[in-house]
Amino acid sequence: MNRCIRHAAVFCLLLLAALLANSARVQVLRAGSYDGNPANRRVTVAR
Amino acid sequence: MSAPSATAPTAPPAPAPRLPTRRGVELSLIVAAVLVSMYGYAEVGFARHGVLPPGAAGYGCGLAGLALLAHVAVRARAPYADPLLLPIAVLLNGIGLVLIYRLDLEPVLGPRAAPAQLVWSSIGVGLFIAVVLMLPDHRVLARYAYLSVTAALLLLAAPIFFPAINGAKIWIRFAGFSIQPGEFAKVLLAVFFAAYLSANRAALAYTGRRIVRGRRLSGLSWLRRLQLPTGRVLGPVLAIWLVSVGVLVLERDLGTSLLFFCLFVVMLYVATGRTGWIAVGLLLASVGAFAASSLEPHVRGRVSDWLHPFASIDAGIGPGQLAQSLFAFAAGGAFGTGLGQGHSYLIGFAAKSDFILATAGEELGLVGLCAVFALYALLVARGFRAGLALRDPFGRLLAVGLASLLALQVFVIAGGVMDLIPLTGMAMPFLAQGGSSVVTNWIIVALLIRISDRARRPEPTPAAEEAAEEADKVGGPAA
């Protein structure tokens, strides 16, 4: 059973890795295009 | 007079080496967790109004009092419990309260929610203490397997008779309270799965039909090892699948249904060690997902939102919720705008519950988000660790089930609001506004505390066991 518990733990680790990679994508890599989207009201709100 | 006893007192038996209980570590980590939360609360006030918020003292004392009560309970009844579990739960709950308090400052998001959340956290900690004090041993729970599955099914079925709120029938309302019974059902189902699977492990693992027979395929030996389970054992699996599909269709709750099914497949795999079960699970899940996405308009909408989050902008009707959430994450960037200085209220409805992570992402940045994910990862890892250290199959499966439950929940909702998977409504454990969820997660942590106490506790007579081992070594010749 120990082997399978480790496999399940590795599976959860993969889920975490996917989340971290995706946060880097949204918050850093694609951040420029999201910030520049004309529908993003943040720029007008800040003024 | 007995002279010998005066001159040579009988030496007391050498005390067995006392295992460190690490309760001091726990206490200092709890103090740190409370201080971090109070700092966050103060920062929100300074950023918005330039003064310390008026409720800071009460809020800090409330959180600290709850944490200390829980710590005292653990110290009294679970002295060997894992010292990281409780501080992480306190910190996550504290961060959640800070974020909800921060969103309360935006009047567009409706009435204040932080005081109610603090009340629910107190109820959660109360139940945590009750579980730690009154549950002598986690193995007792195995006796109530069928009671807990009945209760879980009743809880799951109850909201069908209540009107749908915001498109999902997952709420029960009475006396001004609204409760999500599906949250409690999660723990009950984890207990039932652990009990059922630990009792039927052998039957599930060793009966089966090989898909490929014959010796000619010697190069494909893995294919011959792949076995399909027999119909008799497949029955319960199909039943669980039907229940989760039923939840999906009757209550339109995609997240819960997905969660139950994934939890069951993971626990089934751990109990039996058969990869065939994963294949069966993936097959059933994909059939269910395909049927749901082609038949249910609600689900189809979620999938198309996931694939094209900006479709509503292109159509000229402004950004949808998911687009607003992505804008919030992007505005945070690597280091965030700082607490109280973001615009995540633009998300609107559900900003305090399902989309709470967007506020964390915008105001704490990628750095803060990674820290939050690391806290969840530590919690999950300590759960798995307790499962590995235990000896009884029920406890091991329960630990694995509860840890996976937390991990799956975090993945489903965090992946949903960040456009990694289709968005499904689910509470971020400890962070999101929602009483049922907070209470349930405190119960999960209490069970993990109970299990880890058993896992780390030394055997009743370690000295006797060591002596037996020594005797074995001396008696048996070295091979």
Interface confidence, given as ipTM, is 0.95
What type of residue sits at position B309?
P
Q: What is the pLDDT of residues B415-431, one digit of tens each?
A: 999 999 988 888 899 99
Closest Cβ–Cβ partner in A8, A34, A42 for B270 = A8
Question: What's the mean pLDDT when you consider all of chain A?
Answer: 89
Q: Is residue B3's pLDDT more than 60?
A: no
The highest-confidence range among B146-155, B169-178, B371-380, by mean pLDDT, is: B371-380
Q: What is the pLDDT of residues B60-111, one digit of tens each?
A: 899 999 999 999 999 999 999 999 999 999 999 999 999 999 999 988 888 8
What is the percentage of chain B residues whose pLDDT exceeds 70?
84
Tell me the C-alpha distance between B417 and B49, whole Å: 30
> Could A13 and B377 be called an inter-chain contact, meaning their C-beta atoms sit closer than 8 Å?
yes
| Token representation of residue B351 | 């900003």
Are B144 and B187 contacting, i.e. CB atoms less than 8 angstroms apart?
Answer: no
Q: What is the pLDDT of residues B311-354, one digit of tens each?
A: 888 888 888 899 999 999 999 999 999 999 988 899 888 888 88
Residue B34 CA to its chain's centroid (Å) = 21
Contacts of A8 in chain B (CB under 8 A): 266, 269-270, 384, 400, 404
> Could B266 and A11 be called an inter-chain contact, meaning their C-beta atoms sit closer than 8 Å?
yes
User: Which 3 state secondary structure label does DSSP give B151?
Assistant: helix
Angstrom distances, CA of residue B140 to CA of B59, B152, B405:
37, 18, 21
Closest Cβ–Cβ partner in B270, B331, B414 for A19 = B414
Report the pLDDT value the prediction gives residue B89, as an integer from 0 to 100: 97
pLDDT (mean) for B378-392: 94
Report the pLDDT value the prediction gives residue B348, as an integer from 0 to 100: 84
Positive or negative: CA dihedral B143, B149, B150, B156:
positive
Report the pLDDT value the prediction gives residue B179, as an integer from 0 to 100: 81
Report the pLDDT value the prediction gives residue B261, as an integer from 0 to 100: 83
pLDDT (mean) for A25-41: 90
Report the pLDDT value the prediction gives residue B478, as an integer from 0 to 100: 40
Question: What's the mean pLDDT when you consider all of chain B?
Answer: 84
Q: Shortest CA distance to B340 belongs to which of B102, B19, B113, B130?
A: B102
Please give the full DSSP string across B404-421, using - where no structure is assigned: HHHHHHHHHHHHHHTTSS
Q: Residue B209: in which H helix or E strand, if any?
A: strand B209-210
Tell me the C-alpha distance between B174 and B325, whole Å: 32
Q: Is residue B204's pLDDT more than 80?
A: no
Are B394 and B194 contacting, i.e. CB atoms less than 8 angstroms apart?
Answer: yes
> Could B420 and A3 be called an inter-chain contact, meaning their C-beta atoms sit closer than 8 Å?
no
Looking only at the bridges linking them, the beta strands covering B177-179 and B172-174 are antiparallel
Q: Is residue A47's pLDDT more than 80?
A: no
Report the pLDDT value the prediction gives residue B34, as an integer from 0 to 100: 95
Positive or negative: CA dihedral B366, B377, B408, B81:
negative
Report the pLDDT value the prediction gives residue B475, as an integer from 0 to 100: 45
Q: Which of residues 247-306 of B touch A (CB under 8 A)?
A: 266, 269-271, 273
A15 DSSP 8-state letter? H
Contacts of A31 in chain B (CB under 8 A): 329-331, 333
> Could A1 and B393 be called an inter-chain contact, meaning their C-beta atoms sit closer than 8 Å?
yes
Using alpha carbons only, what angle is made at residue B361 by residues B333 and B300, rounded to the nearest 5 degrees? 110
Q: What is the pLDDT of residues B111-120, one digit of tens each?
A: 888 889 999 9
Tell me the C-alpha distance between B261 and B254, whole Å: 11
Show the beta-strand stretches assigned E in A1-47: none
Report the pLDDT value the prediction gives residue B232, as an integer from 0 to 100: 64
Please give the residue that has the higher pLDDT: either B387 or B53.
Answer: B387
Contacts of B319 in chain A (CB under 8 A): 37, 39-40
Report the pLDDT value the prediction gives residue B239, as an integer from 0 to 100: 79
pLDDT (mean) for B161-188: 78
pTM: 0.88
Distance from CA of B192 to the nearest CA of A (A): 18
> Could B388 and A2 be called an inter-chain contact, meaning their C-beta atoms sit closer than 8 Å?
yes
